[in-house]
């Protein structure tokens, strides 16, 4: 079990699931809980049992299927309704029956919310808190209190907001988490209020939303002011602009402030875990996310690369390996010699000074014409090989290609491509049909080469992106095509640029096939 002196409390499965566009099945929730447990968080808030069948089911299945190693499950719910006994409130019953060792109760701490939203008196709200906390404590559950709108409530009526904390703590809540529910706080003013809350003697936690872009900074400020329980969500998911990103908070506290929150080896799994959770939520990972984003340690500027060549720490705030991430060199028109040398080294090539100069020049020239090598790793590697060998070597050469697009009677549109290639001393002519011109070209190339290179059957075209580079020119514009391909071992991307979209596609396709053959062991 995690150390009780400082709580890392995850609310991805409850507040994270309040994010627009995010919808989790019970199986998804169980899978995410396992990932969070692998990271070593102390508490996983599983949802609101009784509020919907899915969350009730989650707690039922969690009892037998989850087997948490570090974390404890927390069930979230509200204090009893006004005017009823806690023991008789069906939603409180669902919390009791959830089987969760911890219950986190949301309670109003803003006087206006009590009067306008709950439509009850300030005294009755305190009674709702007292009764619900003591009832659940008597039932053997540990209780945390989420003081909703605490900071806005403190501005409106500080004495009442603090009274809510005292009431909860006296009734047996072991943590009172101060919620910046509307996410409008800034770190300095938030820290002052946390300081006041800590002076009540209650154990204080923090729950921040990111509406000012300060959720992580606010959480850190709260911890500095005395909070010993911090809530947040994986990848910063959550209502509106999201919750404090728990990964960023944990990495900051552990690596910058010396807290011992999760095992070192679990921290080194953080990048993998962040991406595994994105897979489950089906939300595209934010590549720029601090610490765990694929771009978090990606270096594009030539000057950065030249210093990194001497010492990576000159342009990195931590060793990316500490959070399981990697340093990457991006090659673009902002590259210098050092960038291509480092990238070359990562690919297994030792470039001479002359080769790196030539390569940089070529990259800049091609990027000026619309190519983009940072998004087309395989195209860069082919260019690098051409520079190292001093010639353009390929497995096949192209005599010509042709595509016909035909709208047939009845409305079907079919494409037919013919390619004439030379490979291993043979002249090959092949025709392929497809649902579009690029599909037809792809089929024709495969037909032409499949006997000589049977491994091509493994290569798949998995994505095709087209971008018009000079929008004002309309149909005359230059077109950039990016093709992503895969085989059993991984993926690669290639780029083609031309005024003709089919020629741009052909360039990208030809490189995709060449690179696939290199990966299959056919050297040039």
Ligand X SMILES: CC(=O)SCCNC(=O)CCNC(=O)[C@H](O)C(C)(C)COP(=O)(O)OP(=O)(O)OC[C@H]1O[C@@H](n2cnc3c(N)ncnc32)[C@H](O)[C@@H]1OP(=O)(O)O
> Pick from ligand X, ligand CC(=O)C(=O)O, none: which does 79 bind, CB < 5 to 8 A by kind?
ligand X
Q: What does DSSP assign to residue 6?
A: S
Residue 133 interaction partner, one of ligand X, ligand CC(=O)C(=O)O, none, beta carbon < 5-8 Å per kind? none
Cβ distance to ligand CC(=O)C(=O)O smaller for residue 52 or 389:
52
**Largest Cα–Cα separation, the chain:** 92
User: Rounded to whole angstroms, how far apart are CA atoms 384 and 438?
Assistant: 26
In the three-class reduction of DSSP (H, G, I as helix; E, B as strand; rest coil), residue 465 is classed as strand
Instruction: Decide: 229 and 175 in contact? Cβ < 8 Å.
Output: yes
Token readout for 397 is 């050469």
Instruction: Compare residues 108 and 203 and give the one whose CB is closer to ligand X.
Output: 108
- Residue 152 contacts ligand CC(=O)C(=O)O per CB under 6 A: no
**CA 426 remoteness from chain centre:** 49
Per CB under 6 A, the list member of 74, 118, 198, 216 interacting with ligand X is 118
Sheet of 397-407: strand order equals 397-407, 413-423, 426-434
For ligand CC(=O)C(=O)O, the closer CB: 179 or 360: 179
**Cβ(417)–Cβ(403) under 8 Å?**
yes
Q: Which of 219, 237, 230 is nearest to 262 (CA)?
A: 230
Query: Chain centroid to CA 482: how far?
Result: 23
Q: How far is it, in rounded angstroms, from Cα 55 to Cα 61? A: 10
Question: Which one of 84, 117, 138, 405 is in contact with ligand X (CB under 6 A)?
Answer: 117
Nearest to 511 by CA among 389, 386, 404, 424: 386
Q: What separation, in Å, do the N-terminal and C-terminal C-alpha atoms of the chain show?
A: 56
Contact stretch for ligand X (CB under 6 A) within 25-33, 46-54, 96-104, 344-352: 46-54
Q: How far apart are CA 120 and CA 83, in angstroms?
A: 9
Give yes or no for residue 79 binding ligand X (CB under 6 A): yes
29 binds, among ligand CC(=O)C(=O)O, ligand X, none (CB under 5 to 8 A by kind): none
Residue 335, both tokens:
């590259």
User: For ligand CC(=O)C(=O)O, which residue of 2, 30, 106, 384 counts as binding (CB under 6 A)?
Assistant: 106
Helix, strand, or coil (residue 98): coil
Window 179-198: residues binding ligand X (CB under 6 A): 181
Residue 51 interacts with which of ligand X, ligand CC(=O)C(=O)O, none, CB < 5 to 8 Å by class: ligand X
Distance CA 447, CA 513 (A): 12
Q: Does residue 209 touch ligand X according to CB under 6 A?
A: no
Q: Under rule CB under 6 A, how many of the chain's residues touch ligand CC(=O)C(=O)O?
A: 8
The binder of ligand CC(=O)C(=O)O chosen from 98, 181, 372, 511 (CB under 6 A): 181
Nearer CB in complex with ligand X: 116/347: 116
For residue 339, the tally of other CB atoms under 10 A from its CB is 28
Task: Kindly give, in sequence order, each residue whose CB lies less than 8 Å from that of residue 414, ignoring residues fewer than 6 positions away.
Answer: 405, 406, 408, 433, 434, 435
Question: Shortest approach of ligand CC(=O)C(=O)O to residue 30 CB, angstroms?
Answer: 22
Residue (148 or 442) nearer to ligand CC(=O)C(=O)O, CB: 148
DSSP 120: S
Q: Does 26 bind ligand X (CB under 6 A)?
A: no
CA gap 21, 239 in Å, rounded: 10
CB of 75 to ligand X, least distance (A): 12
Shortest distance in whole angstroms from residue 179 CB to ligand X: 7
DSSP of 242-287: -B-BHHHHHHHHHHHS----S-HHHHTTHHHHHHHHHHHHT----T
**Rule CB under 6 A: is residue 23 a binding residue for ligand X?**
no
Residue 45 near ligand X by CB under 6 A? no
The yes or no reply on residue 148 touching ligand CC(=O)C(=O)O (CB under 6 A) is yes
User: Taking a C-beta distance cutoff of 8 angstroms, is the pair 449, 513 a contact?
Assistant: yes
CB nearer ligand X, residue 123 or residue 284: 123
Q: How far is the CB of 182 from ligand X (least distance, A)?
A: 9
Contact between 144 and ligand X by CB under 6 A: the answer reads no
Residue from 2, 8, 15, 329 touching ligand CC(=O)C(=O)O (CB under 6 A): that is 15
Site for ligand CC(=O)C(=O)O contains 62 (CB under 6 A):
no
Query: Would you count residue 52 as binding ligand X (CB under 6 A)?
Result: yes
Q: Please identify, using beta-carbon distances, which residue of 82 and 375 lies nearer to ligand X.
A: 82
Which among 478, 502, 513 has a CA at the least distance from the CA of 367?
478
What tokens were used for 442? 């792809």
Report if residue 146 touches ligand CC(=O)C(=O)O, rule: CB under 6 A: yes
Residues that bind ligand X (CB under 6 A): 48, 51-52, 78-79, 81, 106-108, 117-118, 128, 148, 181
Residues that bind ligand CC(=O)C(=O)O (CB under 6 A): 15, 106, 146, 148, 179, 181, 207, 209
């Amino acid at each position: 079990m995690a150390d009780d002196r400082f709580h890392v409390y995850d609310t991805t499965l409850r507040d994270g699931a309040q994010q627009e566009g995010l919808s989790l099945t019970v199986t998804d929730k169980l899978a995410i809980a396992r990932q969070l447990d692998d990271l070593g968080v102390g508490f996983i808030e599983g949802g609101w049992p009784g509020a919907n069948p899915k969350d009730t089911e989650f707690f039922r299945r969690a009892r037998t299927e989850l087997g948490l190693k570090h974390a404890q499950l927390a069930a979230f719910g509200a204090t009893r309704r006004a005017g009823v006994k806690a023991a008789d409130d069906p939603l409180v019953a669902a919390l009791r029956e959830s089987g969760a060792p911890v219950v986190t109760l949301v309670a109003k701490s803003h006087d206006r919310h009590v009067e306008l939203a709950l439509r009850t008196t300030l005294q009755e709200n305190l009674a709702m808190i007292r009764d619900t906390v003591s009832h659940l404590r008597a039932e053997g559950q540990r209780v945390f209190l989420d003081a909703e709108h605490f900071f806005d409530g403190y501005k409106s009526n500080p004495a009442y907001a603090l009274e809510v904390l005292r009431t909860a703590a006296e009734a047996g809540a072991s943590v009172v988490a101060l919620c910046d529910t509307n996410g409008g706080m800034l770190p300095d003013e938030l820290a002052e209020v946390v300081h006041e809350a800590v002076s009540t003697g209650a154990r204080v936690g923090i729950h921040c939303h990111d509406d000012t872009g300060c959720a992580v900074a606010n959480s850190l400020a709260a911890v500095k002011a005395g909070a010993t329980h911090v809530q947040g969500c994986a990848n910063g998911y959550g209502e509106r602009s999201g919750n404090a990103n728990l990964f960023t908070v944990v990495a900051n506290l552990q690596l910058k402030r010396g807290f011992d929150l999760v095992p070192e080896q679990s921290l080194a799994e953080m990048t993998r875990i962040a991406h595994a959770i994105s897979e489950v939520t089906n939300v595209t990972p934010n590549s720029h996310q601090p610490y765990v984003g694929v771009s978090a340690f990606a270096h594009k500027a030539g000057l950065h690369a030249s210093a990194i060549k001497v010492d990576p720490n000159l342009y990195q705030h931590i060793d990316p390996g500490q959070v399981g991430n990697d340093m990457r060199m991006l090659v673009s028109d902002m590259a210098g010699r050092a960038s291509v040398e480092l990238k070359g080294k990562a690919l297994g090539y030792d470039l001479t000074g002359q080769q790196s100069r030539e390569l940089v020049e070529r990259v800049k020239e091609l990027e000026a014409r619309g190519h983009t090598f940072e998004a087309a790793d395989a195209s860069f590697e082919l260019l690098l090989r051409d520079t190292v060998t001093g010639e353009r070597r390929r497995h096949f050469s192209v005599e010509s290609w042709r595509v016909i697009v035909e709208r047939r009677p009845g409305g079907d549109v079919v494409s037919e491509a013919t390619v004439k290639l030379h490979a291993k001393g043979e002249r090959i002519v092949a025709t392929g049909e497809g649902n579009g011109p690029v599909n037809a070209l792809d089929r024709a190339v495969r037909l032409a080469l499949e006997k000589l290179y049977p491994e091509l059957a493994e290569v798949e075209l998995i994505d095709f992106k087209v971008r018009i580079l000079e929008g004002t020119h309309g149909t005359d514009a230059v077109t950039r095509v990016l093709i992503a391909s895969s085989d059993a071992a991984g993926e690669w991307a290639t780029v083609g640029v031309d005024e003709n979209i089919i020629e741009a596609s052909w360039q990208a396709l030809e490189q995709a096939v060449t690179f696939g053959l290199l990966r299959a062991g056919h050297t040039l």
